[in-house]
Chain A
């Protein structure tokens, strides 16, 4: 029963990773770049939600929407200002720029809000449900986190596979010039991708702060790296891959922490990644070609 409850908290953590991983994977799939500033968008989202809840006294849903709105605009702006001018530059130049954007955001947060951590107000605290005659307790917070992740995955999959815009996104991920010849405005598709990824980062930030309620300028770094690992583990560019990679990573992390050692957790997580890539270089659900969404 203990194991089951660890498993469930692993799935909760993994759900958050999966939502963040979607941002990495979609941007990589469409723009073929690693947006290392993605983790810092989460951090900004957390601050926005914090101020909306705590200072402005917004209800949770309004705070979430505010955070989503700010992050979406931030994501589009970052792409326009930092990445778009580098469309035809080498991937190294783009990567260095992304790291620069990441530092910029962290330092901007440091300047604006200081280095002392802010304590995120308690949210999603609706108690537990008890199963097996009280032996297994699952908090509603956990259920809400997992459910949010599932809803996002389903909606995004439907969007990408069924809508006109989704087909255009997949076309861009396969062959941008051919997509242009179809009359697709590739720049708007890339903007939309950043918008979706960053909006999801805001959702992840709120779920993250519900679990770990301290907000600091470096809050996004670790979850960012873990989610990136999850995206690569699942197969970068693949939406189901982000889901699977996120869940696996969350479960491995929690189980390793409990049963092996909390110091070694990160080492174990990254070893799993290396092992998987040794046997399947494209990740668990990655396709052989480089053409993925």
Chain B
């Protein structure tokens, strides 16, 4: 479904992503793990069209998307739930969700989809008229994921959904990710919480200073010595 080849991304003179290749197949959960500053967010932003690559290609079902503006990429079904949530604090939960559906052409189905999203995140339904900025961190993460779902993604890019959440909430978030995937959404998951991410991922890649250093199934990487040492605390 999504294929990244020879991708390089620069910030001015600094090369943050130094030629990476990876692939996400239909229906998979693929994890991209790595330390701070490895280039995970840069990769996600480039796939979403917020950054332009200096080399390489990104294709969705064979179609080159790396030269498209960000809003066109969303229309194609590549939808990102960004790091740090980036919800619209001054707008209500309902408004945030309808912004999530902004790019959709099938406007009539948006309302019924909002109900479906509320089934997945009941807490948001109770608060639908509330300003998003008043939500707690965990609720904001749920809103960010719900908002991304409203776009009806083919593939959802999730950048550190567990950041700053309590262990219990992290579990819940990962459970929801699996649920979303089961409903037919392909997932590319960026995480620092390698253990949890590898636990639910079909396959995973390890990103180190802008390069892919290791790849395999989630289970393989969970049992790999170098991953254990670097990301799982021995």
Contact = CB atoms under 8 A, between A and B. Distances in A.
Given A182-B100, A184-B71, A291-B89, 5 more contacts: A167-B98, A168-B102, A170-B91, A180-B70, A182-B147
B129 interface: no
A180 B49 contact: yes
A174 B88 contact: yes
B182 interface: no
Contacts of A177: 45, 50, 82, 86
B28 interface: no
24 contacts: A164-B102, A167-B91, A167-B98, A168-B99, A168-B102, A171-B88, A174-B90, A175-B86, A175-B88, A177-B50, A179-B99, A180-B48, A180-B50, A180-B70, A181-B50, A181-B70, A181-B79, A181-B80, A182-B74, A183-B75, A183-B102, A186-B71, A289-B89, A291-B89
Nearest to A291: B90
A260 interface: no
Nearest to B100: A182
B20 interface: no
Interface string B85-112: 0111111000100111011000000000
Interface of B: 45, 48-50, 69-71, 74-75, 79-80, 82, 86-91, 95, 98-100, 102-103, 147, 151
A185 interface: yes
A191 to B, nearest CB: 14
Interface residues of A, number: 21
Contacts of B99: 167-168, 171, 179, 182, 184
Interface of A: 164, 167-168, 170-171, 174-175, 177-186, 287, 289, 291-292
A182 B90 contact: no
B121 to A, nearest CB: 18
B74 to A, nearest CB: 3
B86 A181 contact: yes
Nearest to A170: B91
Contacts of A182: 74, 99-100, 102-103, 147, 151
A167 B92 CA distance: 10
A49 B75 CA distance: 42
Given A167-B95, A168-B102, A171-B99, A180 B71 contact: yes
Contacts of A179: 99
A177 B73 CA distance: 13
Contacts of A186: 71
B73 to A, nearest CB: 8
Contact of B102 (A174, A184, A287): A184
A289 B71 CA distance: 26
Contacts of A289: 89
Interface centre among B87, B88, B95, B98 (most CB of A within 10 A): B88
Contacts of B87: 178
The list of the 6 closest CB pairs from A to B, nearest first, reads A183-B103, A183-B74, A180-B70, A178-B86, A185-B71, A183-B71
Contacts of B103: 182-184
Contact of A181 (B75, B82, B90): B82
Contacts of A183: 70-71, 74-75, 102-103, 151
